Amino acid sequence: MSLMKSSKQNRKQAIDRLLTRGVTEVVNRKHLEAALKSGKKLRVKLGIDPTGPKVHLGNAVIIRKLRDFQRLGHKAVLIIGDSTALIGDPSDKLAKRPMLTPAQVKTNLKDYKTQLGRIVDLKKAEFHFNSEWLAKLKFADIAQLAETFTVQQMLARRNFRDRIESGKEISLRELLYPLMQGYDSVAIKADVEIGGFDQLFNVLAGRTIQQFYGQKPQDILTGEMLDGTDGRKMSKSWGNVVNIVDSANDMFAKVMAVKDGLIKKYFTLCTDRSLAEINRIMSAIAKKNMNPRDAKIILAREIVTLYHGAVAAKKAEAEFRKVYQREELPSKMKTVRVKADAVPLRDLIAVVGLAPSKSEAHRLIIQGGIKVDGIKVMNPQKSIDLAGVGVVLQAGKAKFARVVR
């Protein structure tokens, strides 16, 4: 095969992967595929609201898809929704979403661009805040924009319909969200918009709004949603999130906590392993030729390598084996000084940060989740002597702290 034929074949395969791997919906598939094969440079939009300060692996799924468009030579257009974050995306929300304050959005934005730069080549991307155009809209502009949808169309949205049936409120503010996100597509003249599957209503709204303003409707690509490590929706409040800025050791340990039934999904959505390789691993597990734990070692090593490099991944694996498999103390742990000779265990666990509160510390202790110098202690009021060399506290399998006077 000539180099030219090989290059064309590789590009065709890359386009096929782009349109199928981890993809739930493509609108208009035929049109988008033809545009990708034509050599035209497309403007590919991804909007992200800074509702929290950290990008996690669930967010990264669709950001990686933007990277794939970028690698094919298309223009990645990243939009940070500093204005839309104030409204609050109602997608898949079962209750009215509270408004963020400008101060909260500003705090969440602090490190966003740096985190996105771990995945997308920002030097070759456009980067916008949607306040650049949304903050300039006057009441007459918003009234005109609102003409693009009827109330009936909005209320046909599944989660709105569910909330009406269950007697839960829907704020008029929430109805504005898809209009504003759709207007983003007008402002940057998007050829394509990508998003998670929960964004389907919003990104389709962009097509309608572009046509209203005389633009060609953007093509749409939505991706699968990544479950949290425990199989529930990925949520910081549930502690099942893997952040891309987690330390290599923490990231490795968190990936190892992924439910066995999610191994294939995490390989598919979070790594660059070929589907053929992933299927071989899953086949080996099904035939009991591979322990799921060993597959997760491969998975964790690969994900940590993506965000921290191969050397860090190797060290993180060694640390995981040391702490979790051989049950030895970690190579490094935080040291906390406490100005007291003796402290009740419940209070000490909260003071050193191994639990968010004394009540949570109490719960962990009585459930057998706390060790003092390697010995399980189940009395929350037990006095811990710090007058000598101090103690090593352990919460669960992963959290350690050395406490000294």
The answer on pLDDT for 251 being more than 60 is yes
pLDDT of residue 237: 66
Q: What is the CATH number of the domain that holds 384?
A: 3.10.290.10
Residue 22 and residue 55 share a domain: yes
Residue 381 and residue 343 share a domain: yes
pLDDT of residue 96: 61
- Exposure b/e, 13-48, CB count within 10 A at least 16 = b: eebeebeebbbeebbeeeebbebbeeeeebbbbbbb
Confidence of residue 174 (pLDDT cuts 50, 70, 90): confident
Confidence of residue 342 (pLDDT cuts 50, 70, 90): confident
Which of 223, 246, 271 represents a domain boundary (last residue)? 223
Q: What is the CATH number of the domain that holds 53?
A: 3.40.50.620
Structure tokens, 192: 């394509």
Residue 107 and residue 21 share a domain: yes
Confirm whether 297 is domain-assigned.
yes
Confirm whether 274 is domain-assigned.
yes
Residue 269 and residue 212 share a domain: no
Contact predicate 72/121, CB 8 Å: no
Contact predicate 241/198, CB 8 Å: no
The answer on pLDDT for 24 being more than 90 is yes
The sheet with strand 399-404 has its strands ordered as 334-337, 399-404, 391-395, 370-372, 375-376
Q: Which of 301, 296, 302 is nearest to 315 (CA)?
A: 301
Residue 345 and residue 309 share a domain: no
In sequence order, the β-bridge partners of residue 77 are 45, 126
The answer on pLDDT for 218 being more than 70 is yes
Contacts of 385 (CB under 8 A, 6+ apart): 341, 342, 391
Lowest mean pLDDT among 78-82, 203-207, 232-236: 232-236
Q: Which domain holds residue 346?
A: 334-404
Q: How do residues 25-84 score in pLDDT, each as one tens digit?
A: 999 999 999 999 998 999 999 999 888 889 999 999 999 999 999 999 999 999 999 999
Confidence of residue 94 (pLDDT cuts 50, 70, 90): low
Contact predicate 405/341, CB 8 Å: yes
The answer on pLDDT for 239 being more than 80 is no
Confidence of residue 240 (pLDDT cuts 50, 70, 90): confident
| Interval 234-257 mean pLDDT | 88
| Interval 185-206 mean pLDDT | 95
Which of 191, 223, 255 represents a domain boundary (last residue)? 223
Contacts of 305 (CB under 8 A, 6+ apart): 312, 313
pLDDT of residue 5: 60
pLDDT of residue 21: 96
The total domain count for the chain is 3
Residue 198 and residue 267 share a domain: no
Confirm whether 125 is domain-assigned.
yes
Residue of 39 and 136 predicted with greater confidence: 136
What average pLDDT does the structure give for the chain? 89
Lowest mean pLDDT among 22-26, 146-150, 291-295, 323-327: 323-327
Structure tokens, 377: 């202690």
Which of 223, 244, 269 represents a domain boundary (last residue)? 223
**Euclidean distance between CA atoms 395 and 385, whole angstroms:** 18
Residue 261 and residue 209 share a domain: no
Confirm whether 230 is domain-assigned.
no
Confirm whether 231 is domain-assigned.
no
**Euclidean distance between CA atoms 266 and 149, whole angstroms:** 37
Contact predicate 264/278, CB 8 Å: yes
Residue 242 and residue 295 share a domain: yes
Residue 278 and residue 347 share a domain: no
Confirm whether 229 is domain-assigned.
no
Q: Among 10-14, 49-53, 72-76, 227-231, which range has the highest average pLDDT? A: 72-76
Residue 63 and residue 26 share a domain: yes
| Interval 178-185 mean pLDDT | 95
| Interval 372-391 mean pLDDT | 82
Residue of 2 and 250 predicted with greater confidence: 250
Lowest mean pLDDT among 97-106, 224-233, 371-380: 97-106
Supply φ then ψ for residue 347, to 5 degrees. -65, -40
Residue 170 and residue 135 share a domain: yes
**Euclidean distance between CA atoms 354 and 148, whole angstroms:** 51
Q: Is the pTM of this model over 0.85?
A: no
Q: How do residues 95-120 score in pLDDT, each as one tens digit?
A: 666 777 888 888 888 888 999 999 99
Supply φ then ψ for residue 400, to 5 degrees. -130, 150
Angle in degrees, 0-180, between the axes of helices 172-188 and 200-212, rounded to the nearest 10: 60
Residue 197 and residue 50 share a domain: yes
Confirm whether 349 is domain-assigned.
yes
Q: What is the CATH number of the domain that holds 307?
A: 1.10.240.10
The answer on pLDDT for 4 being more than 60 is no
